[in-house]
Amino acid sequence: MGNCGTREESAVVSGAHHQVQQLQALSAAASRNPFPCAPADKRHGHGRSTSDLSSDPCTPRHFEDFTNNSFLYTHVIAFSLFELETITKSFRSDYILGEGGFGTVYKGYIDENVRVGLKSLPVAVKVLNKEGLQGHREWLTEVNFLGQLRHPNLVKLIGYCCEDDHRLLVYEFMFRGSLENHLFRSIHLCLSSYRLTKATVTLSWSTRMMIALGAAKGLAFLHNAERPVIYRDFKTSNILLDSDYTAKLSDFGLAKAGPQGDETHVSTRVMGTYGYAAPEYVMTGHLTARSDVYSFGVVLLELLTGKKSVDKTRPSKEQNLVDWARPKLNDKRKMLQIIDPRLENQYSVRAAQKACSLAYYCLSQNPKARPLMSDVVETLEPLQCSGGGTDGGSVLLAAASSSASFQIGTGGPIAPGRARDYRLEQRFGGTVRPTTASCRSPNPDCSPGGGPTACRVR
């Protein structure tokens, strides 16, 4: 899972559907809970609650319940606590990737020294607080969903540990950490032999659109599953990035099975994160897939503006990003004024209009006016190559010994004095930064192997 950061205020199904129901029936049969669980509080500091899982899988009585029904988790490994201590060097403090109300995440490495037959790969190990805010039930929910679901845009659950009162989850390691860190924080990077203690990352337009598309595909997969899954906690800190900036959804502790048959919604206690939750869900507790669409709109707006969904340090009228920005999204002049100025000359006006229009409809107060996530994916596809920025974002090093600009993936400084691309400059106007990025869009209208300057989607 990688550098997941701290918790702020707040495609293939590997098991058949009847197997999921069987596990839920098994869990529901448990009449008591021998494990310490988080209190049924409202989580005022985190905007989440652990008390609303009565219709979700409940606590199994024994650890043997998992091992005896391991066929349900054909891709997930049941680790012992000793094995995870080995992976993390006894949970050494210098192995910590992030921590928050849920517990602590450690980096680790599994191979045949841990267990014969294991493929060598880096992992992230989440250790839940024994009396933490996430609790055993959210742990079980995450095992249930990620143990059953596989998709390129969902973080892969490698394994779990349920031993005595210890609750741990083992994920694939996500090298670039969370989207939140890249948009809003200074992050630690390691380039060549240098250990950078501070770096400011500016994601390019093309990279932001690629991340938006990947996250949208993850949500669309959940919504289109045999029984739809509502993610319920879509936000930048839960979107993790691999070495190629592929976005993957993580933290399924609040995920919930969607309505079935003639049901129009799921009634549930309100949980999630302030600033991302859909207004009708906050007001009524009625949860639908369109609730996730609203949350996606918030994240898309953050990608477009470079601003947090809620920031009390901004002027009072701008503290809530949606309230401030949404009226401007369908106004061409005002729209261009709110787009992140660091993206200047990296996008066409037409591409910006399409992205802003998509965010506008995702953020509609009327849930029925919001698009389906499958429609969101279709809209984002042609925007992948509608920009001319660096594919990996430019990195300004703030290390004491250097202030040079680097381009992630090039291994060195950006070469000065390169020729300007006048074709692109004429199209967009203004000065265009040189780039060697390749267009990664599958769109057939793009030139094969061409960079953003060769992209014909405008």
For position 107, which CATH number holds? Answer: 3.30.200.20
Closest CA relative to residue 298, chosen from 279, 270, 271: 279
Q: How far apart are CA 33 and CA 60, in angstroms?
A: 7
> Does residue 427 form part of some domain?
no
Point out which residues pair with 105 in neighbouring strands.
98, 126
Contacts 24+ apart (CB under 8 A), 417-423: 421/388, 421/453, 423/453
Catalytic residue among 52, 56, 164, 233: 233
User: Residue 193: how many CB atoms within 10 A of its CB?
Assistant: 5
Is 248 assigned a ligand-binding role in the annotation?
Answer: no
Between strands 247-249 and 239-241, the pairing is: antiparallel
Q: How far apart are CA 175 and CA 42, in angstroms?
A: 33
The 8-class DSSP code of residue 130 comes to T
Token readout for 215 is 């996250």
Token readout for 91 is 């949970």
CATH number at residue 260: 1.10.510.10
Closest CA relative to residue 222, chosen from 258, 198, 262, 186: 258
Confirm if 149 and 135 have CB atoms less than 8 A apart. no
Q: Phi first, then psi: give them for residue 145, nearest 5 degrees.
A: -75, -55
User: Residue 264: how many CB atoms within 10 A of its CB?
Assistant: 7
Q: How far apart are CA 353 and CA 347, in angstroms?
A: 10
pLDDT digit string, tens, across residues 393-448:
433 323 323 333 333 333 333 333 333 333 333 333 344 343 344 454 455 445 44
Burial 266-287 (b: 16+ CB within 10 A, else e): bebebbbbbbbbbebbeeeebb
> Does residue 115 form part of some domain?
yes
For residues 255 and 127, state if they share a domain: no
Q: How far apart are CA 165 and CA 171, in angstroms?
A: 20
Q: The tokens 């199209």 sit on which residue?
A: 427
pLDDT on residue 5: 42
Q: How far apart are CA 436 and CA 416, in angstroms?
A: 13
Alpha helices (H) in 168-306, listed in sequence order? 179-184, 205-223, 279-284, 289-305
Q: How far apart are CA 147 and CA 15, in angstroms?
A: 8
Residue 233 known to be catalytic: yes
> Does residue 340 form part of some domain?
yes
Q: Which residues of the chain have pLDDT under 50?
A: 3-64, 66-67, 71, 133, 190-197, 388-438, 440-441, 444-445, 447-458
CA 366 from chain centre, in angstroms, equals: 25
Q: How far apart are CA 98 and CA 101, in angstroms?
A: 11
Domain final residue pick, 385, 402, 430: 385
For residues 37 and 166, state if they share a domain: yes
Q: What is the pTM of this model?
A: 0.69
For residues 381 and 240, state if they share a domain: yes
User: Residue 244: helix, strand or coil by DSSP?
Assistant: coil
For residues 164 and 210, state if they share a domain: no
Q: How far apart are CA 136 and CA 55, in angstroms?
A: 15
Q: Between the CA atoms of 392, 398, 403 and 409, what dihedral angle is there, to the nearest 10 degrees? A: -20
For residues 271 and 310, state if they share a domain: yes
Q: What is the extent of the structural domain holding 331?
A: 202-385
417 backbone φψ class: left, alpha, beta (φ>0; ψ -120 to 50) = left
Confirm if 406 and 413 have CB atoms less than 8 A apart. yes
For residues 355 and 305, state if they share a domain: yes
> Does residue 82 form part of some domain?
yes
Angle between helical axes of 17-28 and 135-148 (0-180°, round to 10): 160
For residues 164 and 223, state if they share a domain: no
What's the domain count of the chain?
2
For residues 78 and 151, state if they share a domain: yes
| Residue type for position 326 | R
> Does residue 292 form part of some domain?
yes
